[in-house]
Structure 1
Amino acid sequence: MVKEKGHKLITSNRKARHDYTILDTYEAGIVLTGTEVKSLRNGRASLADAYADLHNGELRIHGIHIAEYDNGSWTNHPPRRIRKLLLHRAEIDKLVGKLTESGLTLVPLSLYFRDGWAKVEIGLARGKKSYDKRQDLAKRDSDREIERALHRRAKGLPD
């Protein structure tokens, strides 16, 4: 059996970057069963309501929905079970220190396969206020307008 190489995105949590300011990111392995891996290879997962926490010195992720695997005769997994994340002890200890600060949380940003292994990118995040979200939207809109104007000027079109 040949091991696949590269990076294959399964799903990403686009709303997390809108709702949170991401301070730091970590790549963690995830403990899965066989039917979960097969379902992920079909791209059937969602990070919409997912979050990570520390429990007894272990990092766990809650709320990832991995759909049941339809083919085969195996016993299926529960779609929203709590799954263990795999990080080096030094990284977990660093996260313990940072999570003691108020207002910080761990949010999954994306779920992907890297060199055949399922990985989760988690971000150390601080929640945004509504005015921060409005500022981000206004900045994105102004940047888009600037890009359009530069593009039109480069083509010699009138503003």
Structure 2
Amino acid sequence: MPVDRESVLRELHDQHAAVLWRYVTHLTGDAAAADDVVQETLLRAWRTPRILEQDPASTRSWLITVARHLVIDDARSARRRHEAPRENVPDRPADGAEDALFDALLVAEAMATLSADHRAVIVRAYFGGLSTAELSGALGIPEGTVKSRLHYGLRALRLALEERGVTR
């Protein structure tokens, strides 16, 4: 005898909708958003026939997992972050003086987080243009130590810049 999907879905709603709604409301703090997530979760269950045939305990686990993923996806969405496309793009780019100043401040802040040894090697190598051999002689340390400090210093600098939102 074929299963009436409408009655199965109604039963699924009756058994799980209230629990799902409370769970999503707890996650989001928004009753209207919880209504939307529960509706989308039940719709996905309806579109996945194997879910309707499982035992109720595993069905509830599946529904809660789907609801949690929907909440996470919504939180990560551009709409949630208030990103909107711009209709009018500026005709000419800004002169870049503010950008250069901002970049310099970001680099200075990130450099301040480095150890004195790492900072000294990076400043002399990149801003002073010294080679590892010249750095070794100027600082009185072996070339291998200079290379190691450059490597770990640049890695720490990259992390410090990433913490400040620099991604390029």
TM-score category (smaller protein): under 0.3
TM-score (norm 1): 0.21
Question: Relative to total residues, which structure has the larger helix share, 1 or 2?
Answer: 2
Q: Larger relative contact order (C-alpha < 8 A, sep ≥ 6)? A: 1
